[in-house]
Amino acid sequence: MYFGLVIELVYPEKIPSFQAIKVIKSEEFSMPTKIAAGNWKMNGTQANILELQSISTAADQLDCETIICPPATMLTMATRFSKKVLIGGQDCHSETAGAYTGDISAQMLVDAGASCVIVGHSERRKHHDENSEIVKAKANAAVAATLTPIICVGETLQQRKSGNAVAAVSSQLEESLPKSSKIIVAYEPIWAIGTGAIPSFKEICEMHDAIRALLFRTHGKNGQKISILYGGSVKSSNATEIFSATNVDGALVGGASLKSTDFVPIMQALSKS
């Protein structure tokens, strides 16, 4: 959600303790791009290309950017059938080439037609033991290859219940960030992914505001230009409310992005926000 008056939250070295506010001159301010991103995960074959075509047709009429990250086997075909949708990878290796069986480099993704790539998704952090150091290396590799990394962060249910969610996510993000501001950040509470449960509106605002403050501290004025997406059980019935939260610039959607009938209403809600 966007407002005419822009303020910068000025924080000390460690977030999140509010200290003061500073007005940013309008000429220094650039709004982040509204982005509806779909992560197809390990779903989809060539037969699903019609869904992508329907999403692309709808995207042409909307005031937001649309990204679809299909399986690697669909990347090249997806770029041919999605005139109005950006295509991204779901992961990349930090090295440019080498003896890494089954992995894919950022340069390979570019060669296949991708323009962005997800790094640090909680499923990668959990199932492949990827820590924030590895995620940062992947993000840097993506930037070096001219890809935009979508850097994922999120807290566990235990961290949420203990009151440490903001501190945990802030630490995870800071350790995962490259120096480049040509990035996208996706906040996905781990306990909300695919469960149907989501944080309260207040909790979403609190987390996204804290992330924005951190980006101001790490990237200066460019921190305002970085899009911050919410992810975790986003659907058409809750999208409008989520997109009205402060510093929510879009969504990273999982299962609901597989069908155009589910994803397009989310895109439309974002376009209207």
Active-site residue numbers? 121, 188
Instruction: Tell me how far apart the alpha carbons of residues 3 and 13 are, in angstroms, rounded to a whole number.
Output: 27
Strand 227-231 versus strand 20-23 pairing type: unpaired
Enclosing H/E stretch for 7: strand 7-10
CA atoms within 13 A of residue 29's CA, in its CB half-sphere: 13
| 179: helix, strand or coil | coil
End-to-end CA separation in angstroms for the chain: 6
Give the residue ranges of DSSP H helices in the chain: 49-59, 75-80, 106-112, 122-127, 132-144, 157-161, 165-176, 201-219, 236-243, 260-272
* Residue 37: Cβ within 10 Å count: 24
How far is 214 from 216, CA to CA, in rounded Å?
A: 5
Q: How many CB atoms neighbour CB 113 within 10 A?
A: 16
* φ/ψ (deg, to 5) at 267: -60, -40
For the CA atoms of 265, 181, 218, 151, the dihedral, rounded to the nearest 10 degrees, stands at: 50
- How many other C-beta atoms can be found within 10 angstroms of the C-beta atom of residue 82? 22
Question: Could you tell me the two tokens for 122?
Answer: 């909680």
Backbone angles phi, psi at 7, to 5 degrees: -125, 150
